[in-house]
Structure 1
């Protein structure tokens, strides 16, 4: 099956590169488990431009975005932007899994189990 190519705003490429070079601690921690096809053989990318957004982690084969929320995501306006981003990504067939930074730090195994569970469901 050919995977769908999702368009992106080319102006985001430089910002995505900057974000890759300045990752948060939670992104660095999760990336250790996603890079190099360690997650059930799937290829994940960091800071991937999609539509008018930059996804923190993206797997094209799974049509999956993984987002990590820090303290700024407690603000209502940030949550509204997240909701719109999720809706727009869903409109092109992309599922978003969202975790809080503190989950990555305190319960990484549950975060990984949730991602694995999504993959197992996807493969069925």
Structure 2
């Protein structure tokens, strides 16, 4: 996968976001990190284009976003972001914080199912 130049501002924001992850992001990261989910390699707070993806699996071009209640007010903005990332070949899957906190197994199953569907 080719690397693209990332602005200093975006890189700085990405580092800051890694240090300030939400409870839901931390819970999901503990399931994804170090290949714990079926050996898949994820990166957290990964800059892609002009955005920072909560979690990304570059091998499968899959982005996982964990959204809090503020995203209920940003539906159009999130849709534009998803469209832009899809145009770059990425699949974006979104989960609400509550889904991650209440049923992490279902979230992980959905992630694996999504990857399986895109490999077929």
Give me the whole-angstrom Cα distance separating, in 2, the residues matched to 1:9 and 1:98.
25
The 10-residue stretch of structure 1 (111-120 or 96-105) with the greater mean CA deviation from structure 2: 111-120
TM-score for both structures, normalised by structure 1: 0.90
CA offset at residue 7 of structure 1?
5.5
> What residue number does 1:20 align with?
18
> What residue number does 1:121 align with?
117
TM-score for both structures, normalised by structure 2: 0.93
> What residue number does 2:31 align with?
33
| Structure 2 unaligned regions, length at least 5 | none
CA offset at residue 123 of structure 1?
3.1
Contact persistence 1:57–1:65 (CA under 8 A): yes
CA offset at residue 10 of structure 1?
4.2
Give me the whole-angstrom Cα distance separating, in 1, the residues matched to 2:6 and 2:88.
12
> Partner of 2:39: helix, strand, or coil?
coil
| Structure 1 unaligned regions, length at least 5 | none
Give me the whole-angstrom Cα distance separating, in 1, the residues matched to 2:91 and 2:6.
16
> Partner of 1:56: helix, strand, or coil?
strand
Q: CA RMSD in A?
A: 1.4
Give me the whole-angstrom Cα distance separating, in 2, the residues matched to 1:6 and 1:92.
12
Paired residue total: 120
> What residue number does 2:43 align with?
45
> What residue number does 1:104 align with?
100
